Structure 1
Amino acid sequence: MGDDTGSARQSIALLLRRLTVELDAVGQRFAGIHGLGRTDVRALVTIMDAARRGQALTAGALGQAVELSSASVTALLDRLERVGHVRRVRSSDDRRRVVLEMSDTAMAAGAEFFGGLNRDLVAAMDAYSAEELAVVRRFLEDMTEVITRHARAGD
């Protein structure tokens, strides 16, 4: 690896860190406005992402995703349910199973807050070709995998 390539990689790593810090600040602002904690926001995003994939999410799966014990997940869900952001519902596939759903008000709050950011992000991508976007997607997936592995290194 030449010096230029190593320098470029280091520069990109630093930009990723900066992006992460800025995205975290946006999430924290949303959390503050809605009286939520960081873990609350992580949980809501996890539930929303599962719904977008068409997957039912149980409390146990949520606990694994946000790295909380069963008792902590119960407290988290009780809190989110109490403020009207989450519902626990019986699975249509297996009535013995309880799955999590975001409320319409939580979805609306997220859309209102993050909608402009999402529109601006998508608009910023207009300058990229389909091939470039494919590389960016692969890059972000790879970087997310590395970051996730480091975040869970103590497991």
Structure 2
Amino acid sequence: MSTQEVTEPSGYWYPDDDATQRGVDVLNALRRYRGAETAMRRRTRDAMGMGETDLLAVRFLLQAQRADRTISPKDLAAYLKISSASTTILVDRLVRSGHVRREPHPTDRRALVIVPTTNTDTEVRATLGRMHRRMMHIAESITADEARVVMTFLEDVRAAVDMVDPHED
């Protein structure tokens, strides 16, 4: 028996017709992608010496910086859905590791903003740059029609996942 037969469920509870088997194959490919992405995130966290929440915070702060938006500790807490106490601990940890700085708010003397350091941007680009370029090369290689199909599929799957209700019969 091949590894593929062992690692990919057949979808045995589904009808055994061509359309269903194509669907099972597509969902299995999506699961393999999600597994690879999870492993990549773990390698990135390990390479940068960060936990999952730290990496999410840094990514959010870098995106905000590129968009020229200031981020307060309250904004960060809301984005990460964590308490203000947890945010303080997180920011303290990221300041100690040299990934972020606390700076005075540009218009409110009483407030602070959280800013990623230049080294953090450089580190993230070095850690993820080649992988992003490989992914972009693949995405750019498909036709406009193929891109629309992929985007529609992914958005429809995202919507289906977002509708999952654990209390639904």
TM range (shorter): 0.7 to 0.9
For structure 2, the residue ranges without an aligned partner over 5 or more in a row are: 1-14
The counterpart of 1:98, out of the listed 95, 112, 116, is 112
> Taking structure 1 as reference, are residues 95 and 113 closer, same or farther at Cα in structure 2, changes over 3 Å only?
same
2:99 is equivalent to residue 85 of structure 1: yes
Change (3 A) 1:23 1:126: same
> Residues 91 and 28 from structure 1, CA distance in 2 versus in 1: closer, same or farther, beyond 3 angstroms?
same
Alignment of 1:44-59 (within 5 A): 44-59=58-73
Question: Which residue among 75, 98, 117 is the counterpart of 2:131?
Answer: 117
Does 2:29 match 1:15? yes
The structure with the largest helix share of the pair is: 1
Which consecutive residues of structure 1, in runs of 5 or more, have no partner in the other structure? none
Structure 1 length-normalised TM: 0.77
Q: What's 1:74 paired with?
A: 88
TM-fit CA distance, 1:40? 0.9
The whole-number CA distance in structure 2 between the counterparts of 1:97 and 1:133 is 44
Q: For the pair shown, which has the larger CA radius of gyration, 1 or 2?
A: 2
RMSD over aligned CA atoms reads 2.7
2:57 paired residue number: 43
Percent identity between the aligned chains?
29
Amino acid aligned to 2:39: A
* CA 1:64–1:147: 2 relative to 1, 3 Å: farther
Deviates more, 1:88-97 or 1:124-133: 88-97
Residue 122 of structure 2 is matched in structure 1 by: 108
TM-score by length of 2: 0.72
Tell me what 1:26 maps to.
40
The AA in structure 2 aligned to 1:106 is T
Q: What is the aligned length?
A: 150
